[in-house]
Amino acid sequence: MSIPTEQATEQAVDLTAGPMRSIDDPLAGRPPIRLVGGPPPGAATLTARGACAWFGDHLVLENVDLHMPANQVTALIGPSGCGKSTFLRLLNRMHELVPGAQLAGEVLLDGQDIYRAGIRAQEVRLRIGMVFQKPNPFPAMSIRDNVLAGLKLARIRCSNKQELVEQALLRAGLWREVRDRLGDAGGALSGGQQQRLCIARALAVQPNVLLMDEPCSALDPTSTRRIEDTIAELRQHITVVIVTHNMQQAQRASDHCAFFLATENQPGQVVEHDTTETIFSDPADERTLAYVEGRFG
Amino acid sequence: MLADPRISWFDASDGQADGGIDLTDQRADDTLHIGTTTPRIVEDQPTKSDRIFGGTTTTSGLVVLVLLALVGLFLLLRSRDAFDVAGWSFFTRVEWRTDVDPPEIGVLGLVAGTVQVAVIAVLIAIPLAVCAALFITDYASARWRGVLTGLIDLLAAIPSLLYGIWGWLLLSEQLAPLSAFLARHLSWIPFFATGDDPELVQSMFIAGVVVSLMVLPIVASVTREVFAQTPPGEKEAALALGGTRWGMIRMVVLPYGRAGIIGGSMLGLGRALGETIAVTLLLPQLPLLTWQVLESGGATVSGFIATRAGADDFTTSGLMAAGLVLFAGTLATNMAASVIVSRSRSGVGVETV
Amino acid sequence: MVAPVRLPPRRADVAAASATSASTAVPRPRRRPSEFEGIDYATMAGCAVSALALSWVVFTRLTEGVGWFGFVLVVYLCFLALYGLVSADRLGRLLAVDRLATVAITSGAVLLAAPLVWLVGYVVLKGLPSLSTDFFREDQGGITPSMPADAGGGSHAIVGSLQQVALSLSLSLPLALATAVFLNETRSRLRRPVRIFVDAMSGLPSIVAGLFIFAVLILPYAEDSDVFGNNGLMASLALGMIMVPTITRTVEVVLRLVPDGLREASLALGASRARTVWSVVLPTARSGITTAVVLGIARAVGETAPLLFTSVGASLFNSNPFNGPQESLPLFVFRNIRNTPLPTQIDRGFTGALVLMLIVLTLFAITRMVGGERKGGRRR
């Protein structure tokens, strides 16, 4: 089966253009969708205080204090294996799904600790969505059903499903390519399209925060560029936390950066976190400077 | 091997190994031939031991094929006597009577009984097996996983004879009051109706319950294998969207494993169709055609054959004919099950146990 | 390519700061947040009690009894229904369905132990009283059905079983191994049809195997020679037909688990394919093959149906499997329990059943010990 290329259906994206900071809202003029039974609307702040993570007895993340402001994109950068993805999974309570995993510290969503007894992980995950490194749409379901999957899983009611699907796909930058084939199977799309479908699916439940775990690492440059544009536009509506290996991507797409580092004897820690411009032009720590200059990693 | 005269690496004539693409012609020709390289045909000459190896293994593989064909063939040959006398009515007659002349034998009652017992068994086994498989793949910790897998394997290892005697001597008495209750209060459903003051102990219902325990491990094993192959990325995605565990199972695991459940059930059905010794004990083995499964009565093909071992020639010929019918039926069921499982998205790589 | 870069030395103040944070005691790890809390267990207990009470009222006051098995079944279903309703009221439908599913699936899976325990317990209880060492020494010569259950013994049955299983194993194991090797180690085009037929053969009803041997060998040739009459050899042939597909499929799975790297290494060293299989693949798969063999034995030792047409059974000792009917454990059990309603006869059968069950359980335990990495445990 031939995988459709994206260029065939859309005008070519200019890869050499600089970072686009101001994007027209693709949803301008559209009615807002209200969801019944879903999370409260708007972007939220996330704060980690003293977060530690274990896999069994192995400490992989130690004392992470990080504030991720609302309506901003925070990038987590650092060499591989230093706990960035683990930290990300702490933020939406996916870490505890691993057998033997433990954690300490607090993660505050708008000031409330998501790990407090009595708060369900399922509700946390409604408010904090996640997009994974490898695109994982539900291949046997149609594109439309994929987007609505989150509503179905959480029994969220929506009065205008068609409009919601369109808005989510518009936000994810996929609408024009699939508007005529919403009934096609989700698995029939190309890699970049699948990832954008996953973004649309995550956005459909209207979360307050979107976590992205190296979303472009498996994709070609055109798709990467599209998704970065999406991220840049998304920040107006929700908070984004993105883990990335690609420093240039962090520079292009984020407002804040946190530099993670782990060495042989030390578990992962945040060495420094500041605005992106500061991190890349004048970091406080020499290790940060060495990393952003490409001297290691 | 090194002294193989066919390969001469040191052919001095043109300094090139045999069979290579000779570029000298093309170079002399100045025009570039683009795309004229064709792949070389590589053939490995098998050694003598390889040939013996290939021959032995292929033969043994073919032995299985031949055996199965022989089974069908000989059953057919031996059942000729019975078919000569009974003709096509063999397939439509219910009763089996060798005391009249000419003998009236028919396999319909047997087949009906076999199918009824098997269907009851599979209907009971499927939900339990799917539960067990889901528990193993999605709910259990590592320790409990091993315990339950061992439990299922142990259920499979117990000989059906022991199931039969336990079922006949113990379970029947415990289930009879339940049958009575169903008969009394739910008799408007045709399956649960019985005659007046019925004997409830040797019924197809109870036989079905006991056979379900034998079918359960097969269905559970196949569905467990299929569920274990569900792509973890999709499961994660469902959980990250705010789904509960059961929601994730309903959206990802069960649809993915649907073909496996069906295939496993058909394999279980095949097993139930062929079950012999337990139903010999649990049913009176008198052919009947009835919907009333709660009441005593009925026979299955294999049980009927088992109870009449050592009879006269004609009866034996009839038994061969019945055995042929059973053989064809179970063969078809099992092959269909294998095809269903292997053709599904989830079935690639699953061994249908 | 690039000279390895050492991490730049940490600045003094940053080093000091992280040193203090390391020396502060790390807060004690929180336990994994668990789904079920105290109130959930209390709810379950309450629902269980309510279901019990409700069913008791219904079946003792309102309608007639339904037998203790039916009662337990109804209580269980009531419990599930009540728990679902209570959880829906407390948690909302989404979570209630999830909780109910968890409880139902977990209990359903664990309850599978119940019939097993019940069966094993029953056989032990009925068989143990009459079991003595005489069982392993005497046969049933001269024993009438009304004599007490521990009269005579089953040594003829045990010997018969051992001989028949050994014979069938010796016939079926080479064929099964070779077929498994054919299916997994060769590249023949015939693999697909052979695999389909092996699958089909595993569904062969055991009675048909007995019928087949009866039709092919016993009927035509029994008058000519005793070797083709009703004896242990014929039974072994039928049992072998049943063992071949079982062993083939298990061994094939095990062979598939042998990493390809080993085969490649052997071929790269210059070994032929045959040698690779014989010296590398088979020894690596040894524990799995042993498991397959033991499982095949366990299956064969419990099979009754094919014996009814082939070895038919006897009450006297017969240690010659090539001549004359031979008893084996399953036949011993079957005939004693089925043929007469006398309790002594039935108890006699149970003694044999107990011995049979112990043999199967022992073989099963051996497979668990030998096969460390069962295919069930590998997949996850």
Per-residue pLDDT of B102-124, as tens digits, reads: 788 888 888 999 999 999 999 99
* Domain stops at, among C55, C76, C111: C111
Residue of chain B with shortest Cα separation from A131: B237
Of B233, B236, B238, the CB nearest to A153: B238
- CATH number of the domain at C138, please: 1.10.3720.10
Across the interface, do C108 and B65 touch by the CB < 8 Å criterion? Answer: no
- Confidence label for C63 from pLDDT (cuts 50, 70 and 90): confident
Residue B39 lies in a domain: no
Across the interface, do C364 and B149 touch by the CB < 8 Å criterion? Answer: no
Q: Give the residue numbers spanning the domain of B177.
A: 86-343
Q: Comparing B86-100, B112-126, B133-147, B242-256, which segment has the lowest mean pLDDT?
A: B86-100
Q: In this structure, are C158 and C94 located in the same domain?
A: no
Of B237, B244, B251, the CB nearest to A122: B244
Residue B118 lies in a domain: yes
Average pLDDT over residues C99-117: 90
Residue of chain C with shortest Cα separation from A270: C18
How far apart (Å, rounded) are the C-alpha atoms in residues A29 and A46?
30
Residue of chain B with shortest Cα separation from C195: B61
Q: In this structure, are C224 and C80 located in the same domain?
A: no
End-to-end CA distance of chain A: 38
Across the interface, do A94 and B240 touch by the CB < 8 Å criterion? Answer: yes
How far apart (Å, rounded) are the C-alpha atoms in residues C190 and B57?
11
Q: In this structure, are C227 and C372 located in the same domain?
A: yes
DSSP β-ladder status, A209-213 and A128-131:
parallel
Average pLDDT of chain A? 86
The phi and psi torsions of B9 (rounded to 5 degrees) equal -75, -10
Residue C186 lies in a domain: yes
Across the interface, do B242 and A154 touch by the CB < 8 Å criterion? Answer: yes
Q: Is A246 exposed, middle or buried (CB count within 10 Å of its CB: 0-12, 13-18, 19+)?
A: middle
Residues 6+ apart with CB under 8 A from A166: A175, A179
Q: Comparing A259-273, C15-29, C91-105, C354-368, which segment has the lowest mean pLDDT?
A: C15-29
Q: Among all chains, which residue has been given the structure tokens 């962090």?
A: A250
What pLDDT was estimated at residue B310?
A: 73
Question: Which of the pair, A21 or C109, is modelled with greater confidence?
Answer: C109
DSSP H helical ranges for C186-285:
191-202, 206-213, 219-221, 232-257, 260-268, 273-276, 282-284
How far apart (Å, rounded) are the C-alpha atoms in residues B288 and B277?
19
Residue C3 lies in a domain: no
- Statement: residue A65 has pLDDT above 90: yes
Q: Among all chains, which residue has been given the structure tokens 């259906």?
A: A9
Domains of chain A: 43-137+208-292 (3.40.50.300)
Q: Are B172 and B206 in contact (CB under 8 A)?
A: yes
Average pLDDT of chain B? 82
How far apart (Å, rounded) are the C-alpha atoms in residues A181 and A194?
14
Establish if A208 touches chain B: CB-CB under 8 angstroms. Answer: no
Residue C24 lies in a domain: no
Average pLDDT over residues B66-76: 88
Residue C302 lies in a domain: yes
Q: In this structure, are C291 and C371 located in the same domain?
A: yes
What pLDDT was estimated at residue B34?
A: 57
Tens digit of each residue's pLDDT (9 = 90 or more) over C177-200: 999 999 888 888 888 888 888 888
Average pLDDT over residues B52-59: 86
* Domain stops at, among C51, C76, C111: C111
Average pLDDT over residues C366-376: 66
Q: Are B294 and B205 in contact (CB under 8 A)?
A: yes
Residue B27 lies in a domain: no
Q: Among all chains, which residue has been given the structure tokens 């290939």?
A: B54
What pLDDT was estimated at residue C31?
A: 55
Q: What angle do CA B180, B184, B190 make, to 5 degrees?
A: 100
What pLDDT was estimated at residue B127?
A: 93
- Statement: residue C220 has pLDDT above 80: yes
Q: CA-based Rg of chain C, rounded to a whole angstrom?
A: 30
* C362 Cα to chain B: minimum distance (Å): 11
Average pLDDT over residues A179-199: 91
How far apart (Å, rounded) are the C-alpha atoms in residues B159 and C359?
11
Establish if C21 touches chain A: CB-CB under 8 angstroms. Answer: yes
Residue B40 lies in a domain: no
How far apart (Å, rounded) are the C-alpha atoms in residues C113 and B130?
16
Across the interface, do B60 and C249 touch by the CB < 8 Å criterion? Answer: no
Q: Comparing A40-44, B155-159, B197-201, C298-302, which segment has the lowest mean pLDDT?
A: B197-201
- CATH number of the domain at B113, please: 1.10.3720.10
Tens digit of each residue's pLDDT (9 = 90 or more) over A262-296: 988 889 999 999 999 999 999 899 889 988 888 87
Residue B14 lies in a domain: no
- Statement: residue B54 has pLDDT above 70: yes
Residue B71 lies in a domain: no
* Chain centroid offset of residue B153 CA: 16
* B20 Cα to chain C: minimum distance (Å): 23
The phi and psi torsions of A296 (rounded to 5 degrees) equal -155, 170
What pLDDT was estimated at residue C291?
A: 86
* A229 Cα to chain B: minimum distance (Å): 23
Q: In this structure, are C145 and C107 located in the same domain?
A: no
Q: Give the number of domains in chain C.
A: 2
- Statement: residue C148 has pLDDT above 50: yes
What pLDDT was estimated at residue C317?
A: 83
Establish if C277 touches chain B: CB-CB under 8 angstroms. Answer: yes
Residue C69 lies in a domain: yes
Q: In this structure, are C200 and C98 located in the same domain?
A: no
- Confidence label for A14 from pLDDT (cuts 50, 70 and 90): low
Residue C21 lies in a domain: no
Q: Give the residue numbers spanning the domain of C319.
A: 134-378
Across the interface, do B305 and C211 touch by the CB < 8 Å criterion? Answer: yes
Q: Comparing A160-174, A190-204, B237-251, C30-44, which segment has the lowest mean pLDDT?
A: C30-44
Residue of chain B with shortest Cα separation from A155: B243
Q: In this structure, are C83 and C159 located in the same domain?
A: no
Establish if C37 touches chain A: CB-CB under 8 angstroms. Answer: yes
Q: Which helix (H) or strand (E) element contains residue C81? A: helix C67-91
B and C: number of Cβ contacts within 8 A:
297
Single out the residue of A98, A25, A51, A75 nearest to residue A259, CA to CA.
Answer: A75
What pLDDT was estimated at residue C18?
A: 42
- Confidence label for C28 from pLDDT (cuts 50, 70 and 90): low
What pLDDT was estimated at residue A247?
A: 87
Preceding amide of B102 cis, omega within 30? yes
- pLDDT > 90 in chain B, percent: 26
Establish if B183 touches chain C: CB-CB under 8 angstroms. Answer: no
Establish if C124 touches chain B: CB-CB under 8 angstroms. Answer: no
3-state percent breakdown (helix, strand, coil) of chain A, nearest 5: 35, 25, 40
Q: In this structure, are C228 and C362 located in the same domain?
A: yes
Of C101, C209, C244, the CB nearest to B246: C101
Residue C313 lies in a domain: yes
Q: In this structure, are C172 and C98 located in the same domain?
A: no
Residue B175 lies in a domain: yes
Establish if B213 touches chain C: CB-CB under 8 angstroms. Answer: yes
- Confidence label for C30 from pLDDT (cuts 50, 70 and 90): low
Q: Are A174 and A198 in contact (CB under 8 A)?
A: no
Q: Give the number of domains in chain B.
A: 1
Residues 6+ apart with CB under 8 A from C162: none
Tens digit of each residue's pLDDT (9 = 90 or more) over B7-50: 444 444 444 444 444 444 444 445 555 556 777 787 777 778 88
* Domain stops at, among C58, C77, C111: C111
- Statement: residue B99 has pLDDT above 70: yes
Residues 6+ apart with CB under 8 A from B277: B160, B161, B164, B306, C206, C304, C305, C330, C334
Instruction: Give the chains touching A; criterion: ≥3 Cβ pairs < 8 Å.
Output: B, C
Question: Which of the pair, B11 or A153, is modelled with greater confidence?
Answer: A153
In a mutational test of the A interface, the residue from B145, B239, B241 whose CB has the highest number of chain A CBs within 10 Å is: B241
- pLDDT > 90 in chain C, percent: 21
What pLDDT was estimated at residue C26?
A: 53
Average pLDDT over residues B261-266: 90
Residue C144 lies in a domain: yes
- Confidence label for A99 from pLDDT (cuts 50, 70 and 90): confident
- Statement: residue B87 has pLDDT above 60: yes
Q: Are C74 and B182 in contact (CB under 8 A)?
A: no
Q: In this structure, are C138 and C106 located in the same domain?
A: no
Q: In this structure, are C73 and C141 located in the same domain?
A: no
